[in-house]
Amino acid sequence: MEWHVTDAQSLALIDREIGGHTFSPAEYEIVRRVIYATADFDYQSLIRFSDAALQSGAAALAARTTIVVDVPMVQVAIASTIQHTFANPVYCSMDALTRPQKEKTRAAWGIETLARRYPEGVFVIGQSQTALTAIAELIETEDIRPALVIGTPAGFVGADVAKERLADSLVPYITINGRKGSSVVAAAIVNGLVDLAWQAYGQEQLGAS
């Protein structure tokens, strides 16, 4: 991401307001990105990282692993960062060809279809609780083994349960405790992670191109 003067000033304000913390440097970079995108300091205490989530996600991005997202808003929000770095393929659940079904939402069927196609992909669920539930079910039945799942949908019915199921899984994840979350949060996490991965792996990618 290309930072401007106002961005730097805002990040400095965030740093001052947060003060001391227990995040690793990489985790803190993600946290401050989320707070910057939302102006909500609650995320400092709500964001959860599994062990090695950032390492696994960064390595997957550097390997140009496919990214699967639940809604177009996330896809659009991460497109520029992806295109200017690792150029991973990005697919959206809403574009997946599925037969009309009554039992699940379009996002859930679409994410399930793409998950079976890219079982070791990076999954970014920013809005759809039903899509995150579908991913959790596929993980529990060992049909897929994602490199990373970012699950941040907001909601009062089912979203917190879906997030807990993700947190109970054995796959790398980043999620938000409780009811809060959004596609904006998911995109901020992805863009922050891409920048971290580019710092770690970018020269290798440039040398290979």
Query: Which strand (E) or helix (H) includes residue 56?
Result: helix 53-62
Q: Categorize the per-residue pLDDT at 206 as very low, low, confident or very high, splitting at 50, 70 and 90.
A: low
Backbone angles phi, psi at 143, to 5 degrees: -80, -25
pTM score: 0.92
Predicted pLDDT of residue 207: 60
Percent of the chain with pLDDT over 90: 81
Torsion (CA) 129, 14, 61, 113 in degrees, nearest 10:
10
Which tokens sit at 175? 């999620």
Centre a 10 Å sphere on the Cβ of residue 81 and count the other Cβ atoms it contains.
Answer: 19
pLDDT 10s digits, 21-40: 999 999 999 999 999 999 99
Backbone angles phi, psi at 69, to 5 degrees: -120, 160
pLDDT 10s digits, 160-203: 999 999 999 999 999 999 999 999 999 999 999 999 999 999 86
pLDDT 10s digits, 5-21: 688 889 999 999 999 99
Predicted pLDDT of residue 161: 92
Predicted pLDDT of residue 60: 98
The b-or-e profile of 85-106 (16+ CB within 10 A means b, else e) is: bbebebbbbbebeeeeeeebbb
Average of per-residue pLDDT across 32-51: 96
- Asked if 74 and 187 touch (Cβ cutoff 8 Å), the reply is yes
Q: What's the Cα-to-Cα distance from 92 to each of 47, 95, 131, 149, rounded to whole Å?
A: 24, 6, 11, 14
Predicted pLDDT of residue 158: 84
Q: Which of 203, 158, 191, 167 is nearest to 57 (CA)?
A: 191
Predicted pLDDT of residue 32: 95
Distance CA 67, CA 86 (A): 11
Distance CA 162, CA 158 (A): 6
Q: Categorize the per-residue pLDDT at 106 as very low, low, confident or very high, splitting at 50, 70 and 90.
A: confident
Q: Categorize the per-residue pLDDT at 1 as very low, low, confident or very high, splitting at 50, 70 and 90.
A: low
Average of per-residue pLDDT across 72-83: 97
Query: Which strand (E) or helix (H) includes residue 149?
Result: strand 148-151
